[in-house]
């Protein structure tokens, strides 16, 4: 079974720009969660989508948004990029039922200049 895929793997943007990241979950998984990983803050939860609905949201500003499509693929958008948004963005796939483990994709490394 194919794993979680994320595109693009690397991005370089400048402040003020916006960016869209994509995640395709494991086949049959309906939940996609997004995380930000930085050396200073570690792994932090952004939001989770299940059946095209956002079920959970972390403590990030409204510049961070996402959506999920009917095929469970998900996108994350960051508008008005700031230097502090430079991070590894990870998506995780799961069945979406309580207690189900999450499997991470390879991540998208975003650098904001």
Partner 1 sequence: QKEVEQNSGPLSVPEGAIASLNCTYSDRGSQSFFWYRQYSGKSPELIMFIYSNGDKEDGRFTAQLNKASQYVSLLIRDSQPSDSATYLCAVMNTGFQKLVFGTGTRLLVSP
Shorter beta-carbon distance to partner 1: residue 46 or 78: 46
DSSP calls for 25-43: PPTT--EEEEEEEETTTEE
Of 38, 52, 55, 80, which lies in the binding site for partner 1, with binding defined by CB under 8 A?
55
CA proximity to 66, closest of 23, 98, 9: 23
- Please tell me whether residue 67 binds partner 1 under the rule CB under 8 A: no
62 binds partner 1 (CB under 8 A): no
Q: Which is nearer to partner 1, 70 or 98 (CB)?
A: 98
| Contact call for residue 10 and partner 1 (CB under 8 A) | no
Query: How far, in Å, CA of 113 to CA of 101, rounded?
Result: 35
Figure out which of the listed residues 5, 13, 58, 75 binds partner 1, where binding follows CB under 8 A. 58
Helix (H, G, I), strand (E, B) or coil at 81: coil
| Ranges assigned E (strand) in 53-107 | 53-57, 64-68, 74-78, 87-94, 103-104
Interface positions with partner 1 (CB under 8 A): 31, 33, 35, 42-45, 48, 50, 55-56, 58, 88, 90, 92, 94, 96, 98-107
């Amino acid at each position: 079974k194919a794993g979680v895929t994320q595109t693009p793997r690397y991005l370089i943007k400048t402040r003020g720009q916006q960016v869209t990241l994509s995640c395709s979950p494991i086949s049959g998984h309906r939940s996609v969660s997004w995380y930000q990983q930085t050396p200073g803050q570690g792994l932090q939860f952004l939001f989770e989508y299940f059946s095209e609905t956002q079920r959970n949201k972390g403590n990030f500003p409204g510049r961070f948004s996402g959506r999920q499509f009917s095929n469970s693929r998900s996108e994350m958008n960051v508008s008005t990029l700031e230097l502090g948004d430079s991070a590894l963005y990870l998506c995780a796939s799961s069945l979406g039922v309580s207690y189900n483990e999450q499997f991470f994709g390879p991540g998208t490394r975003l650098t904001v200049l």
